[in-house]
Amino acid sequence: MKKTQIVFILILLLAALVVGASYLLRRSGGVGPLIETPETLTVRVVCALPVEPFVREAAKRFNDSKPKLEGKPIQVEIIPMDGLTAMGRWERGEMNPVPTVWIPDSRYLVELVNASFKEQRGRDVFLTDGEYRARPIATSLFSWGIYASRAEVLRARFGEINWQVIHDASIAKGGWPELGGKPDWGYFKLVVPNPNRNVAGLAAMVAAAGEYYDKTDISVADVTDPAFQQWLKELMGAVTDLTIGSYSVESLALFGYSTGDGGQLMESDLLVNMAGIQTRWADPLEIVYPKYITWFDFPFTVWMGEETTALEKNAALEFEKFLLTPDMQKLAAQRGLRPANLEVDITGPDSLFTKWASQGAMTVVPRTTRMRSPDRDVLQALLRWFQLNVAER
């Protein structure tokens, strides 16, 4: 037998031994298959409630496209959570497992959490520049949503609708008849998200303080001023239901006047629910933009700690890019959000802003006075005041 034939036979025998040994080991549970399935890169996204429907739908479309990074499949999971709740969990170390991405209601929440971690770790865990910087995926703002019949009476009595007008309506001892409304309307009922459950509730109190003091920057001294506290207590006394949390506008759509006559609420929520309100109730809802605007920018924020790998962080960036594509930003606009991608137009005939322009919706808000983000001390002072004076009544 030739030498080459011997070598060939030996190779075949060796291959047969390897295959046989592999089979026996797999039968005995010793090893897995020789060709392993690529490990999935899981991107866990803790997401603010106002944008959760948009982000969840975008995640579904992203996952359906079978995305990969360096040959590994990417899977996005969405975890809905209010911004204040998320901030508390971050700072108490209760985020387990640690999410890859946080999309809170506002950038200032990111800054507060980052400041806490910077003291602990000596470095930033959320970045403000570079590839991994926090970037808005959409924006929305606070605006008044008030039933047209009530708005007409308030304008006839007071003029422009603002927090002071709402305060005066709230303390009218004779209720709506004293204001010029109908007796069966009862007393003015204010709708404000519960500050204990939703960051928008705290934002409402910050906005009210801005109009009270006629300035954009609120301090702890402003919050603790007895005259302001008395004014705010009278105002918040008109909130009849603190159980509805982040679903204030949905409750307006479902239950009408029994929920409230109006309140300062997320513009996107108002726009999405306008059709339902028009269908269910004869009295349409009006959108009125306040003097001092409170913006929510929903920043896509990548966690930079060692709890997630570099590949997971980069997979998160792939999802961020997908969220900012024109198609996904159009989806955001369909949910009443203002796109972060400026290529996307919200002035077209299919836009919710155009559709409800007759009810006060504006594509361009002609005011530039924006409330400054409160610091941690102001937030804590407002929340403590609320807990002591309103929450348990």
Scored b (16 or more CB within 10 A) or e, 205-234 reads: bbbbbbbbeeeeebbeebbebeebeebbee
Q: Measured at the alpha carbon of residue 265, what is the angle toward residues 259 and 267, in degrees to the nearest 5?
A: 125
Ranges in the chain annotated CATH 3.40.190.10: 41-139+297-339, 140-296+360-389
Residues paired with residue 47 on neighbouring β-strands, in sequence order = 80, 103
Instruction: Return all residues near 191 (Cβ < 8 A) that are at least 6 apart.
Output: 145, 239, 241, 244, 248, 251, 252, 259, 260, 261, 262, 263, 265
Fold of 140-296+360-389: D-Maltodextrin-Binding Protein; domain 2 (3.40.190)
Helix (H) or strand (E) holding 103: strand 101-103
Q: What percent of the chain has pLDDT over 90?
A: 65
Q: Which two tokens stand for residue 246?
A: 């982040």
- pLDDT value for 196: 82
pLDDT tens digits, one per residue of 154-213: 999 999 899 999 999 999 999 999 999 999 999 999 988 888 888 888 888 999 999 999
- pLDDT value for 257: 82
pLDDT tens digits, one per residue of 179-188: 999 999 999 9
Query: Rounded to the nearest 5°, which phi and psi values hold at 214?
Result: 55, 50
pLDDT tens digits, one per residue of 202-245: 888 999 999 999 999 999 999 999 999 999 999 998 887 766 65
CATH of domain 41-139+297-339: 3.40.190.10
Q: Measured at the alpha carbon of residue 187, what is the angle toward residues 184 and 191, in degrees to the nearest 5?
A: 115
Please tell me whether residue 146 adopts helix, strand or coil conformation: strand
Q: Return the percent helix, strand and coil in the chain, to nearest 5.
A: 50, 15, 35
Largest CA distance in the chain: 115
Answer whether 203's CB lies under 8 Å from 273's CB: no
- Sheet holding 101-103: strands in order across? 68-69, 72-80, 41-47, 101-103, 299-302, 135-136
Binning pLDDT at 50, 70 and 90, where does residue 21 land?
very low
Distance CA 299, CA 301 (A): 6
Scored b (16 or more CB within 10 A) or e, 140-171 reads: bbbbbbbbebbbebbeeebeebbbebbbbbbe
pLDDT tens digits, one per residue of 91-102: 999 999 999 999
- pLDDT value for 259: 84
**pTM assigned to the model:** 0.85
Query: What count of residues does the chain have?
Result: 393
106 has pLDDT over 60: yes
Residue 201's identity, in one-letter code, is G
Q: Which of 127, 255, 133 is nearest to 191 (CA)?
A: 255
